Structure 1
């Protein structure tokens, strides 16, 4: 398998909209500046995540970009908040209706709540449903707020397969929040076969760890993108696999990867499986 990296993304604040990059430095912790910040829920001590849409889906109405050593967040009305602003926490708390703290320091044993996706589909995003507590970054070096692994990849063939099975005929990569979108041919979900293999993209070498299990986040409104339950229902129909031993079968799209050799990657760089 070979092709090109067609798009690069980072998400400076966890669960907020991110920024497309022309090039990115990939370190052992992933794309530089990716998920380096998050909101801490003052009431529960958990990391705020749109995986619990009843509480946190509004995070996807905000966008974040790197701003020197910090971040700049744009609110739905166009106002901006910078991480260095004394009132940043208060502004974000007001917008979200819950007291939060903007932080770049991941607490030891940091967790988030992941609402059961099937229950969200059945009951809706405003319903109170069961959730599971997820420990962040178990497949990654410390220092960021990634869900599991440093890098998330998805192929265009997978996006095309989901789009072809959906009502809208399109499926935006942004819904799945990948770091690198790879131009791939052939059937969808071919990334499953990459698990355990290494991949050279630009200057970086990545080792594919596991298929990426999907939660309810891809189904939610992302900025101007409408809600689309097919973003989860279709992978559940076409690619129900066990991502890691003991997880059971879950709808998956894309793969997680760890960094073997750091390096710079540019949009348009070639990639190939080693």
Structure 2
């Protein structure tokens, strides 16, 4: 039986995953506190009063800033505090709801990233806005959650001859019990996870960010190239549009696609 094995959110774009037993989801807003913040490069213009979707290249991100993977971060939505740990040591704790806290975060990442930050990075946020990679496509993609089939990860491992940490793919929902790559055929169809319905919007094309090991922070693979060579595409996972309000829990059953209402 296909079922959810792990759930994550990523409160700050490019920073570490936070494991959760339950994801609270809504049709209007997607996953709460996922990619809620981002660290804009010093050269990036972003107006929180009139937010415009921007390509991920305008922000600190793993594709360009591999050392981000060496940090373990935790955000507390109830209090607004962000904690950063490196090599088991606390290196930053700041209240993102205050100007002083945001200033501390920006100064830390300016020093930590160095010239690649292109000046002092700015911690940005805007009501109703998410810094997802799909935000530049449409509002539906901005609010979408990402889904990875662990059988597809294993199929890639078998071709490459080595193990891959699933968190390389930075998904919100990880599922086991499916046939490898079966999820890629779901685009345009609906699935149920637990009691909540989703629509598969698109496959997830992979960039060099997945080449960064989330444990060692080393760029040690060429996965987009390997996907293309072995399978004829660069996709692993799909984007899901949330079609209702509710929760997804670890252990929830995944019911494979049914045709969209009204479709032939």
TM-score band w.r.t. shorter chain: 0.7 to 0.9
CA contact (8 A) 1:139 1:150 kept: no
User: Once the 2 structures are TM-superposed, how far is the Cα of residue 65 of structure 1 from its aligned partner?
Assistant: 2.2
Alpha carbons 1:12, 1:71 under 8 Å: kept: no
Match of 1:153 among 135, 147, 156: 147
TM-score, normalized by length of structure 2? Answer: 0.78
Displacement of 1:231 in angstroms is: 2.9
Aligned to 1:40: 40
Out of 37-46 and 7-16, give the one that drifted further: 37-46
Aligned Cα RMSD in Å? 2.7
Q: CA deviation at 1:101?
A: 1.2
How far is 1:66 from its partner?
2.5
Separation (CA, whole Å) in 2 of partners of 1:5 and 1:172: 17
Number of corresponding residues: 233
Could you tell me which residue of structure 2 aligns to residue 265 of structure 1?
A: 248
Q: Name the residue aligned to 2:21.
A: 22
Counterparts in 2 of 1:217 and 1:228: CA distance versus 1, 3 Å: same
1:57-96 per-residue CA deviation (whole Å, 9 max, x = no partner) reads 2222223322125351414253123224142211221111
Q: Does 1:183 align with 2:193?
A: no
Q: Give the structure with the higher percent helix.
A: 2
CA distance in 2, matches of 1:257, 1:270: 16
SS in 1 for 2:203: strand
2:204 to 207, 212, 225: 212
- 2:124 is aligned to 103
Aligned-partner SS, 1:59: helix
Superposed CA deviations along residues 26-48 of structure 1, whole A, max 9, x for unmatched, are 12333221111110112233641
- For the 8 Å contact 1:51–1:215, the answer to whether it is kept is no
Q: How far does residue 22 in structure 1 lie from its aligned partner after superposition?
A: 0.8
Aligned partner of 1:237 in structure 2 is 229
Aligned pair in 2 of structure 1 residues 47, 76: CA closer, same or farther (>3 Å)?
farther
Provide the residue aligned with 1:5 in structure 2.
4
Q: Where in structure 2 are there 5+ consecutive unaligned residues?
A: 46-56, 259-264
| CA-CA distance at 1:150 after TM superposition | 1.5
